[in-house]
Structure 1
Amino acid sequence: MENILQIDTDFIENNTVFSELIEALKNGFCNNKTLIPMRHHHDFPNPEVNADSTLLLMPAWNPSKDAGVKIVTVSPENGKFKLPSIQGTYIYFDAVKGSIKAILEAKSLTVKRTAAASALASYFLSRKDSSSMLMIGTGALSINLIKAHAAVRPIKQVFVWGRNIEKAQAIASALKHENFSVKAIKSIEEKIAEVDIISSATLSKTPLVFGKYLNPGQHIDLVGAYKKDMREADDKTISKSSVFIDTFQGGLKESGDIVIPINKGILNKEAIKADLFQLCSNNKIGRTSENEITVFKSVGHALEDLAAAGYYYNKFKNE
């Protein structure tokens, strides 16, 4: 039996080059051979914290090449225990023999591939000269989203907002050696109308991005709000923007940012411009003008996990 590699958080954190990971995801979305069933999404009660937790099972197969499944729990109240909301593992298989090649720590894998997917979308959707960014949210994704967006656009200024200003300041401090400036701000309204890219990664159930503040040419990256009753952008944001999603399979079903506007008649399913499969294969185009406002909604996809697992597995093997 082959040795099963254990790829931990430290390896993933220390060996991520976002430009490479973004390219790995792009290649994955271009490949029409990968089989991705709809992910299992199970909410279950967690009475101790008076809030539901979620179990996600996300399988994917690239026939005769590789396969994998991610097993993850999302517990929004984990802040009470000083733990991340996402916990889990990724099992990476040999698709021919069915043997396990590696077990990867899923939280870091998820954070990295999610940030890379947003940056991949930004490559098609944000203006090429985008140099400023507002990061809404101070969780594990925030630093990675900033770095990933900076890998595809010439970011010079970043503003960070969180409900806790000290957490926003901690992110600014952690990124002080990057090639861009980072500043914590006390309110979203301070900068939302001025920046080129707005990225939001929160568990908010009420909008934080309001369309009344948006200006022509901006790109909005919505990464949080993973349930139907959660949303980060209001109706006006959706109605005045060109809307793109990571995949039609999950994007139309799982997030309130898309589901609620569709149910209210504000967004027509047919009006959604494209998903990452169509953008990466050049079947659809992204931004069409300098003045267009674009919205990208990410809910996550098993293909992203499989592509990222292969990326880290190959790096680990080639050390």
Structure 2
Amino acid sequence: MLLLDAEAVRAVYPMTTAIPVMAEAMRKFSGGLVTQPLRTILRPEADPAVFASMPCHVGGDGDAGYGLKAIMLKLDNAAKGLPVHVGVVVVFDADTGAPAAVIDCAELTAIRTAAVSAVATDALARPDAGDLAVLGAGVQARSHLQAMDAVRDLRRVRVWNRTAARARKLRDWAATWLDVPVEVVDSVPDALAGADLVCTTTSTKDPVVPGEALAGGAHVNAVGASLRDARELHSDAVARCAVFVDSRESAAAESGDLLVPLEEGLTGDGHVRAELGEVLLGRHPGRTGRDEITLYKSLGLAAQDIASGFAVARLAADAGVGTVVPMGAERLVAP
């Protein structure tokens, strides 16, 4: 069994490698090659943490097989300088069923989430989009900045965060590798003014994106709110958008961003245009006009983690990265 920490994941799974893996995972999901239930979520009243368990089988060729993601959401970790998402992804050997790799979940989640947003951006944003607004300044903000740079030529970047000091840290980090300067702004409308690419990566439960602040023709990747009682976008913002999702089933059950405007009567049952995978498979045209505002609402799928897990395990084995823990063939044989 291969043990892979965050450093090992970063070493073998850069954004440019993750993007095509995630595009294929989304095609497989919407193409019927993925078996996964809705995630099981534990939220004890006596504990503010959230635990989620996500089993999955990804079929087809390539990075495929059985796997499991077990993750904790610990929002107070941010104040400790730690990831708010912590846990593991386990992938299983196809021949024996033995655990083949145990992988750091925080780093894998950061990369795969942004990589899927890059896939959505490439499929749905205008080809000339490059004025980027990033809301939030944490791990996902960093990975999304890398992801957007991988699929579009950025010409302007603005960052807003409730804590300006964190936004300045993101700006300083970006200055070490990004050719475009990053500007820290004081408000969400300041960040969104004229932006044709938007990534919302906050940990808020209350919406921060008003509809009137979105520029015509923008593409929005909304990734920060992944629970039914959390929202980043005001209802009028969702109503203005052509909405695309990772999974229709997940969106209908888990997305506060989409469920609240539906309950308020601002959107209808057909407001979700398609799954991202359906666009990639050519079953839906995606954007239908230059001035249309497109929204990719990301909730995250186990299929994304499991496909990433198999890719990371394969790449790490080829590179000799990680720690090998002998399992012993005799342990796989029943007495």
Bin the TM-score by the shorter chain: over 0.9
The alpha carbon displacement at 1:140 in A equals 0.9
Q: What is the letter of the counterpart of residue 232 of structure 1? A: E
Partner of 1:281: 281
Q: What is the letter of the counterpart of residue 201 of structure 1? A: T
Normalised to the residue count of structure 1, the TM-score between the two structures is 0.93
Partner of 2:6: 9
- 1:83-128 C-alpha deviation (Å, 9 max, x unpaired): 3221101111113421111000001011111111111111111111
Question: Does residue 223 of structure 2 align to residue 226 of structure 1?
Answer: no
Q: How many residue pairs were aligned?
A: 312
Question: Does residue 52 of structure 2 align to residue 56 of structure 1?
Answer: yes
- CA–CA distance in structure 2, aligned partners of residues 200 and 42 of structure 1: 25
- CA–CA distance in structure 1, aligned partners of residues 171 and 78 of structure 2: 21
SS in 2 for 1:186: coil
- CA–CA distance in structure 2, aligned partners of residues 150 and 23 of structure 1: 15
Q: What is the letter of the counterpart of residue 238 of structure 1? A: V
Indicate the RMSD between aligned Cα atoms, in angstroms. 1.6
Partner of 2:333: none
The alpha carbon displacement at 1:14 in A equals 2.9
Name the CA shift for 1:166/1:81 in 2 (closer, same or farther; >3 Å): closer
Normalised to the residue count of structure 2, the TM-score between the two structures is 0.89
Question: Does residue 15 of structure 2 align to residue 18 of structure 1?
Answer: yes
Counterparts of 1:72-83 in structure 2, within 5 Å, are 72-83=71-82
- CA–CA distance in structure 2, aligned partners of residues 82 and 236 of structure 1: 34
The alpha carbon displacement at 1:33 in A equals 2.1
- CA–CA distance in structure 2, aligned partners of residues 285 and 181 of structure 1: 34
Question: Does residue 312 of structure 2 align to residue 315 of structure 1?
Answer: no
- CA–CA distance in structure 2, aligned partners of residues 210 and 104 of structure 1: 38
Question: Contact 2:221 / 2:297 at 8 angstroms: preserved in 1?
Answer: yes
The alpha carbon displacement at 1:63 in A equals 5.0
Partner of 1:208: 208
The alpha carbon displacement at 1:45 in A equals 3.1
Identity of aligned residues (%): 26
Name the CA shift for 1:267/1:26 in 2 (closer, same or farther; >3 Å): same
Q: What is the letter of the counterpart of residue 116 of structure 1? A: A
The alpha carbon displacement at 1:46 in A equals 4.3
Structure 1, gaps ≥5 residues long: none
Structure number with the bigger relative contact order (C-alpha 8 A, sep ≥ 6) is: 2
Larger-gyration structure (1/2): 2
Q: What is the letter of the counterpart of residue 150 of structure 1? A: D
Moved more, 77-86 or 163-172: 77-86
- CA–CA distance in structure 1, aligned partners of residues 113 and 59 of structure 2: 24
Name the CA shift for 1:100/1:257 in 2 (closer, same or farther; >3 Å): same
SS in 1 for 2:144: helix
Q: What is the letter of the counterpart of residue 72 of structure 1? A: I
Q: What is the letter of the counterpart of residue 45 of structure 2? A: P
Question: Contact 2:200 / 2:222 at 8 angstroms: preserved in 1?
Answer: yes
Question: Contact 1:66 / 1:96 at 8 angstroms: preserved in 2?
Answer: no
